[in-house]
Structure 1
Amino acid sequence: MAKRRKLSNPLALTVMVLLDEGPMHPYQIAQTLRRRGKQHSVKINFGSLYTVVQNLEKHGYVEVTGVQREGNRPERTLYGLTEAGRDEMLAWLSDLIAVPADEFPVFETALSLLPVLPPGEVAELLADREQTLVVQAAAFRGVLTQLGDTLPRIFIIETEFQLHMIEAQLEWVRSFRKELTESTLEGIEEWRTFHDTGAVPEEWKDLDEQDIVLDPGQEN
């Protein structure tokens, strides 16, 4: 089980990883994130970056290491990673890689509530989603090509993973939509009856009487 951390914002972890390369000021951190295309993998609010750095300093994970002066520009405070920050960074990142998290994606929530919509409408909505996923996949391929020309693969591996996840979702959506349009999905007739009559099918009522465990991590 992953340890409960003092900070949970992934942007804080991203900042610590950058500062492990050497001291930077917040504006430089923002520039580096943009240059490396990290906005595709980390929810970055550049306006709150200073607050993130302040929180890291508050917990002793970063510290002021100096001041940078460039011509007539205002002085910029440089921050560096502390030993405590490096320990936290390594432990946090290791947990994220090793321990799958319950992230509750909103699409999974929508799928869990699917019967409230008619099967035909769901098929049409999934067709819309399919088109969007096709566009997203093409966009990520473009990003990978662009970044791959300037960065080693290890620095864009998360974008590669995102593309694979989009492609996997696209494959599933196409398969499930085919089941809907061809009426091969188990239980689709009861689903249609529910919307035709407004009455909950007896087969569904029977499910509520059964002791069914739907948690893959829980034994029967």
Structure 2
Amino acid sequence: MRIFMETEISNAELALLSLIVEQPRHAYEIEQVIEERNMRSWTEIGFSSIYRVLSKLEQAGWLSGKMEPPKGRGPARKVYHLTPAGKKMWQQASLQTLAKPKREYSSFLLGLDNLGALPPKRAQQAIQTYLKDQQATHKFLSQAVEEHPMRENFYIGIFFDYLLHQLAAEIKWLKKLNERLEKQPKALDHKRRSE
């Protein structure tokens, strides 16, 4: 059974639509929410691209922007509202990302492919550096979850649970890889590309 129609929408476009589904927002408010939620650590949305992406979504008919008077001091701001077509696109794209997420290839796979041609000690150091980085990220994210004001929200809990489980699985695998490299450091020397 098909639950979505194939759509072509970038992660940045879907991220902005998602924020506007929650409530109408102006560009600066969108930037603030992105920062508060630390969204740049898990999706591609650059600060400089927000206005460009909003303009593109408006031209596509998925958003309508309306100048609204300031609340208090400051200039009038263009507040973006979701159109019916935008809501339909957001829903289709969200379902598509759940059913058939785009495969993102990590540059780490290229590093693994070249592992046998690298100096053993330096390769192990690189793996250990990545392991420590992932452990620090897991610790940071675990603390962020504990402090998140909406951590009891069922759907936010699912989101963080997924991220933490992915990190935990990668950390476990990296530890095993590190152990294997320590037990067989000479194996790296014998698997040179030139042989």
Deviation at 1:143, TM superposition (A): 1.1
The residue that corresponds to 1:58 in the other structure is: 59
TM-score when normalising by structure 1: 0.76
SS at match of 1:64: strand
CA distance in 1, matches of 2:23, 2:122: 54
The corresponding residue for 1:192 is: 189
> Counterpart in 2 of 1:217?
none
1:129 Cα shift? 1.9
* Structure 1 unaligned spans of 5+: 201-220
Per the alignment, residue 179 of structure 1 pairs with 180
Q: CA deviation at 1:163?
A: 2.1
Task: Find the residue that maps to 1:43 and give its secondary structure.
Answer: coil
- What is the rounded CA distance, in whole Å, between the counterparts of 1:98 and 1:34 in structure 2? 28
Whether the aligned pair in 1 keeps the contact of 2:62 and 2:83 (CA below 8 Å) is yes
Question: What's the CA shift for 1:34?
Answer: 2.9
Distance in 2, matches of 1:104 and 1:66, equals: 41
Q: Larger Cα Rg: Structure 1 or Structure 2? A: 1
Query: Paired residue for 1:89?
Result: 90
What letter is aligned with 2:6? K
Q: Which runs of 4+ in 1 moved over 4 A?
A: none
Q: Within the alignment, does 1:113 sit opposite 2:114 as a pair?
A: yes
Distance 1:165 1:178 in 2: 20
TM-aligned CA distance change 1:155 to 1:49, over 3 Å: same
Distance in 1 of aligned mates of 2:157 and 2:47: 20
What is the aligned residue count? 191
CA distance in 1, matches of 2:63, 2:40: 22
5+ residue gaps, structure 2:
none
Question: Root-mean-square deviation (CA), in Å?
Answer: 2.5
The Cα offsets for residues 173-197 of structure 1, whole Å up to 9 and x where unpaired, read as: 11111112112x9xx64x42355xx
The answer on whether the counterparts of 2:64 and 2:83 sit within 8 Å (CA) in structure 1 is yes
1:128 corresponds to: 129
The two structures have a TM-score, normalised by structure 2, of 0.84
How do 1:10-89 residues align onto structure 2 when only pairs under 5 Å count? Answer: 10-89=11-90
**Secondary structure of the equivalent of 2:75?**
coil
Residues 119 and 46 of structure 1, relative CA distance in 2, 3 Å threshold: same
Question: CA distance change for structure 1 residues 45 and 111 in 2, over 3 Å: closer, same or farther?
Answer: same
Displacement of 1:98 in angstroms is 0.8
For residues 53 and 192 of structure 1, the distance between their equivalents in structure 2, rounded to whole angstroms, comes to 52
